[in-house]
Amino acid sequence: MAIIKTKGLIIRENPYNDTDKMLTILTENLGKVSVSARNSRKGGSRSSYGTQVLTYGEYVLFRGKDFYFLNGCDVITNFYDLSSDIETFTYAAHMIDMAEDACIDSSSAEQVLILLLHGLNALRKKRNPLLISSIFALKLTHIIGYPPYVSSCVSCNTREMEEISFSFDKCGFVCEKCAKGDSQSIKIGNGVAKAILYVLCTDSGGVYNFNLSEENLKIFSKITLKYIEQRMEKQYKKLEFLNEL
Ligand SMILES: [Zn+2]
């Protein structure tokens, strides 16, 4: 039976039978895969090693009919420390939800994995989690091929925009004139416009390297969440939990 080695991050674990777990691993070269980890629910057993959510490691798998089987692993790092803070952990869970939806094929999965690992590292360094998850959301839309249009006004094509707005209807920047007839558009100002441009023009390694004022972050996060929800045609509810705390 063919053995496959791949690096990956465990993004889900579910109990399966009495002693097994079914893992969802976001891998470097197989896309998002389901992996059965036999005997991994026996506490302290050798087979439970490396099978927890937020473990990043090199996994040795063999392919079954419907899913893969875990044959062994080397843990590279884990992000368990994120779970010690409920707010940070909720943002990490929100990012994982979006990441799962963005893995439409194996080439997008590899890019999503790299972006997610950099994002989790940024959370670990105590960067603002709302900013990190918002940057992640926007960059995901780029990875899946639906970035907002930001080169000029998406309606009239002018590059001379005194006041930039973001149009959800047109999926990009609009000038002050075109924004008038677009009730769903939001004025964003230069700070947020620059942040959006920066995220779209920067690769995953550097994409999180900026900060925003509180006011600009409010607008940036609102836009990026609504924009990815439109592209994915779903609503992400995890962050609502934070309002109940
Ligand atoms: Zn215009």
Domain boundary among 28, 49, 78: 78
Composition of the chain by helix, strand, coil, percent to 5: 40, 25, 35
How confident is the model over 36-89, as pLDDT tens digits?
A: 998 877 766 666 778 899 999 999 999 988 899 999 999 999 999 999 999 999
Cα end-to-end span (Å), the chain: 50
Q: Which residues sit opposite 111 in a β-bridge? A: none
Phi and psi at residue 92, to the nearest 5°: -65, -40
Please indicate, yes or no, whether residues 93 and 29 belong to a single structural domain of this protein.
no
Instruction: Retrieve residue 41's tokens.
Output: 């629910």
Domain boundary among 52, 78, 104: 78
CA of residue 216 to ligand 1 center, whole Å: 22
Please indicate, yes or no, whether residues 151 and 233 belong to a single structural domain of this protein.
yes
**What is the per-residue pLDDT for 39?**
80
**What is the per-residue pLDDT for 43?**
65
* CATH number of the domain within which 37 lies: 2.40.50.140
Domain count, the chain: 2
Please indicate, yes or no, whether residues 145 and 226 belong to a single structural domain of this protein.
yes
**Rounded CA gap, 4 and 196, in Å?**
38
Please indicate, yes or no, whether residues 9 and 38 belong to a single structural domain of this protein.
yes
* DSSP helix/strand/coil, 165: strand
Low-confidence stretches of the chain (pLDDT < 70) are: 1, 43-47
Please indicate, yes or no, whether residues 10 and 52 belong to a single structural domain of this protein.
yes
Please indicate, yes or no, whether residues 44 and 104 belong to a single structural domain of this protein.
no
Give the structural domain span for 68. Answer: 3-78
pTM of structure: 0.94
CA of residue 171 to ligand 1 center, whole Å: 13
**What is the per-residue pLDDT for 188?**
95
CA of residue 143 to ligand 1 center, whole Å: 26
**What is the per-residue pLDDT for 106?**
78
How confident is the model over 86-101, as pLDDT tens digits?
A: 999 999 999 999 999 9
CA of residue 173 to ligand 1 center, whole Å: 8
* CATH number of the domain within which 116 lies: 1.20.1440.120
**What is the per-residue pLDDT for 141?**
96
CA of residue 124 to ligand 1 center, whole Å: 41
Domain boundary among 48, 78, 108: 78
